[in-house]
Amino acid sequence: MKTVFTACTPILTVRDITKAKSFFVHNLGFTLDFDWGAPPTYAGLHRDAVCIHLIQEGASRQKAGTGNITILSNEVDELFIQCQRNGVDIVVPPEDRPYGLRDFAFRDPDGNVINVGCDALVK
């Protein structure tokens, strides 16, 4: 039987896991699925079909703020406006790109870059 990949979960390294969880829940609409450790050093969140895990700097081999992920969505402009309202650090505003996506990018409080894109024909 051929192996079929069914999902991929990025893990972002953060300095303060409590602050990072709050950012993803309150600014982006994610739901906390679990915390691990006492005090927590690892957490899992989801929104719709997208999962993101967070790991506390020191419990990871990576430095906080070095992550870069892309999330595909059905639209980006509404989320962009929401991020602006919430004071999220926008790196690149929404634009139709020559590679067929309309996307924008922002930083979480630790400097990890999150790109959100949709089909350029969907606005």
| Within a domain: 6 | no
Answer yes or no: is pLDDT of 67 > 80: yes
- DSSP secondary structure code for residue 63 in this structure: P
Amino acid at 88: V
What is the pLDDT confidence band of residue 35, given thresholds at 50, 70 and 90?
very high
Rounded CA-CA distance 118/14 in Å is 26
| Within a domain: 63 | yes
Task: Name the pTM for this structure.
Answer: 0.91
Structure tokens at 80: 């962009």
| Within a domain: 80 | yes
| Within a domain: 3 | no
| Within a domain: 4 | no
| Within a domain: 114 | yes
Q: Tell me the residue ranges of DSSP E strands in 38-112.
A: 42-47, 50-56, 68-72, 89-96, 101-107
Supply the CATH number for residue 65's domain: 3.10.180.10
Answer yes or no: is pLDDT of 20 > 70: yes
**Full residue range of the structural domain in which residue 17 is found:** 11-119
